[in-house]
Copies of this chain bind each other. A is one copy, B any other.
Amino acid sequence: MINLYELARYLEAHDNYEILTHAYPDGDTLGSGFALCLALQQIGKNARVITTNVPSKFTYLLNGVKEQDFEAEVIISTDVAADTLLGSNMEKYIGRIDMCIDHHGSNTITAKEKFVDRFAAANCEIIYKLFQRMNIKITEQIADCLYTGISTDTGCFRYTNTTSETMRVAAQLMDFGCNTGYINKVMFETKSKTKIQIEQAVYDTMTYCANGRCAIIYTTLDMFKSLDVGDDEMEGLASIPRQIEGVLMGITMREKESGFFKISVRTNDGINASEFCSQFGGGGHPAAAGCAIEGTLDEVRNKLIEAAEKVLK
């Protein structure tokens, strides 16, 4: 593990950078990658970002990024916690990463050197502090990239990972002219028509048990087919049941194949989600865990209801 000062000197000392982001890219990995790319180009380096894809709502992050033709010398990963998370880029880059910059305490990626700060709410918070040590001018574009990462990884400063330091970095980015109005609107105030339809369909599946302390929702293959949506539209659904007043355990069942369900469990008030899932061969964190159960919709739901009523009795 190197420190932030050493990381700054390292980036100044080399020239031709490829920056890796994680598969199913989110605002933090893309914001980190493109901010770093813009900063390196600003101080006369060659740099490019390698992504599996850039979802359309994130295309503004590419503003101002120059396409440069060069042979990569240094491979950097940003916000990538493990080799497998490189997705389709894994085969090409595994074992070749020179420097990892990440905020996941669980980081296991194969890299020659690492800077990992698990107290940073977002990887973009680290990147901002890095730039302070490199005399990077925070342009509007760089500020947009960093604010995107920080706001998306904290649910717009709502999640418990948000620290006073996170707020102060965001304040500085606002002073540097980042377009919070646009970014917040796109990230937090926009739902696709399909998403509305899915939510509507999912609300119809809501079952309460354990005297309202457990809520269960589900999606089925038939629902996907009739709404003509992919699995990626399911993002965020798992948080719905836990948000309901009085619910201590929110369960989301997703039919992945006929007779096979993936289960997400989210809990409040110290109910152990990981322990709950372990009885079905799964696991995870205390407040967010998962497992897989075979059976028909009713069979699986009944198993979950029975188990939930035992825990919440």
Report which A residues bind B (CB closer than 8 A). Answer: 156-160, 162-165, 167-168, 170-172, 174-175, 180-181, 184-185, 188-193, 196, 199-200, 203-204, 206, 208, 212, 239, 242-246, 268
Contacts and interface: CB of A to CB of B under 8 A. Distances in A.
A175 B268 CA distance: 25
Contacts of A243: 189-191
A228 to B, nearest CB: 16
A244 to B, nearest CB: 6
Contact of A190 (B174, B192, B212, B245): B245
A129 to B, nearest CB: 15
A244 B163 contact: no
A175 B164 contact: yes
Nearest to A170: B167
A180 B156 CA distance: 13
26 contacts: A156-B156, A158-B188, A160-B181, A160-B184, A162-B174, A164-B171, A164-B172, A167-B167, A167-B168, A167-B170, A168-B168, A168-B171, A171-B171, A185-B268, A189-B239, A189-B242, A189-B243, A190-B243, A191-B243, A191-B245, A192-B244, A193-B212, A193-B246, A199-B203, A200-B203, A200-B204
Given A196-B203, A196-B206, 11 more contacts: A156-B156, A162-B174, A162-B180, A164-B172, A164-B175, A167-B171, A168-B168, A189-B243, A190-B245, A193-B208, A200-B203
A233 to B, nearest CB: 12
B193 A244 contact: yes
Contacts of A168: 167-168, 171
Those 3 A-B pairs whose CB atoms lie nearest each other, nearest first? A167-B171, A164-B174, A164-B171
A120 B203 CA distance: 38
Nearest to A190: B245
Contacts of A191: 243-245
B196 A244 contact: yes
Nearest to A191: B243
A261 B166 CA distance: 44
Contacts of A159: 184
Given A190-B243, A203-B199, A158 B160 contact: no
Contacts of A162: 174, 180
